Homo-oligomer: A and B are copies of this chain.
Amino acid sequence: MYDVPVRWSDMDAYGHVNNARFLTLYEEARVAMFFVGARAHGLGSFEEGIVIARHEIDYLRPVDFGDPVRVEMWISALKTASFTVDYELYDDGVLASKARSVCVPYNLAEGHPRRLSAEEKDFLTPYWIRS
């Protein structure tokens, strides 16, 4: 569960948070979990490269500038060379958006996808909710 502050400049000419910017809000939550959170567990490998293979986002209600939004996040699929993050974004306690990201660990230096390591699986497993 991550509180992600909304910036005034996230709003577009319609006066609501721009739909593309939701991916940035989700990114902030994901980075908090996989970069900052994993690093606190001695695991820096996610930071060296996670490639996004696919995003799905549903927009249920407009979000305005104001209090931070709350993002709930869990792992909905954990495979050999990818994992899927599911998100729910709450604004003032009301579900405003849902999303799903397929993430692929990537060897940036060598330029190819790679398998999840045992340590990475150990880090992710507690967040895994089998559907």
Chain A contact residues, CB within 8 Å of chain B: 5, 7-9, 11-15, 18-21, 23-24, 27-28, 31, 35, 49, 51-59, 62, 65, 108
Contacts and interface: CB of A to CB of B under 8 A. Distances in A.
Contact of A9 (B15, B24, B51): B24
A54 B56 CA distance: 7
22 contacts: A5-B5, A7-B24, A7-B28, A8-B12, A8-B27, A8-B28, A8-B35, A9-B12, A12-B13, A13-B13, A13-B65, A19-B55, A20-B20, A20-B23, A20-B27, A23-B23, A51-B62, A53-B59, A54-B57, A54-B58, A55-B57, A56-B56
A8 B27 CA distance: 8
**A interface: dominant SS:** mixed
Nearest to A111: B62
Contact of A27 (B9, B58, B59, B62): B9
